[in-house]
Structure 1
Amino acid sequence: MNIYFFIAGILCFLLGIAHSILGEYLIFKNIRNKEKLVPTKETIELKERHVRILWATWHLATVFGWCLGAILIKISILEESQLIDFIVNTIGLTMFLSSLLVLIGTKGKHPGWLVLLAIGIVLIIGT
């Protein structure tokens, strides 16, 4: 078992959980009608349809993160191969670029960039 790939996979799941829970609490609670799952309150800047797609996209990032986590956990128990190397390197590069994007986009104020960077580093160590 490659423990580094396993740790990276678990970090993907934890990041996704934190991302969705904190997003619901910090971002979407004030623009949601109490009885609805999807936020629908318009703001001065956003129409209802914009709020809805923002919410969906927010949680889509979580689902994609969980998918990558599942792939990494499965890979952690498989024999090494060129395909596994390609997948891990691609996910690692994705995590590094995502980390950079969040770092630049939030001027380092959103802690997600650190977790994305940590996942990328753990994947590089594991290869």
Structure 2
Amino acid sequence: MLLIGLVHSVLGEVLIFRRMRRGGLIPTMGEPLLRERHVRIIWASWHLPSILGWAFGVLLISIAAAAGEPVAPALVVRVLAVSLAVGSALVLVATKGRHPGWLGLLAAAALAWLGQPAV
């Protein structure tokens, strides 16, 4: 999953977003077909599965390293909560806070973190 997430982001940057940049990290050149705000959320949406894929990769590595022992539920919840929070920050920055997706991701991260099982 870690490799899939990395390949997904790299290919997106090389094949799709590279030509849409004006020199900054976040692509903004979508005209005439797309407006800047559309390109920004597409960019964030493109990379969000990579972040979540990396979280799944961490969980799979943890399960493999546990050698048959159960993985602590708190670890699972923490990894997912952190990945949701990072995704929230990505959408917030990319869309300058104009897309509400960052709020949903942040709420999910907070609820997961607050509801995690005791260690």
TM-score bracket relative to the smaller structure: 0.5 to 0.7
Q: What are the Cα deviations for residues 16-68 of structure 1, in whole angstroms up to 9, with x where unaligned?
A: 111111110100011111x2000011223211001001101111111110000
Flag the 1:56–1:27 CA change in 2: closer, same or farther, 3 A: same
- Are 2:1 and 1:16 aligned? no
Give the secondary structure class of the aligned counterpart of 2:34. coil
| Identity across matched positions, percent | 45
Q: Tell whether the 8 Å contact from 2:63 to 2:70 is kept in structure 1 after alignment.
A: no
Question: Which of 39, 46, 49 is the equivalent residue of 2:37?
Answer: 49
Structure with the higher fraction of residues in helix conformation: 1
Aligned residues: 73
Q: What are the Cα deviations for residues 61-81 of structure 1, in whole angstroms up to 9, with x where unaligned?
A: 111100000000001122344
Question: How far, CA to CA, are the matches of 2:18 and 2:35 in structure 1?
Answer: 16
Flag the 1:82–1:41 CA change in 2: closer, same or farther, 3 A: closer
Post-superposition, which runs of at least 4 consecutive aligned residues in structure 1 deviate over 4 A? 80-84
Q: How does 1:17-96 map to 2 (within 5 A)?
A: 17-33=6-22, 35-78=23-66, 79-81=68-70
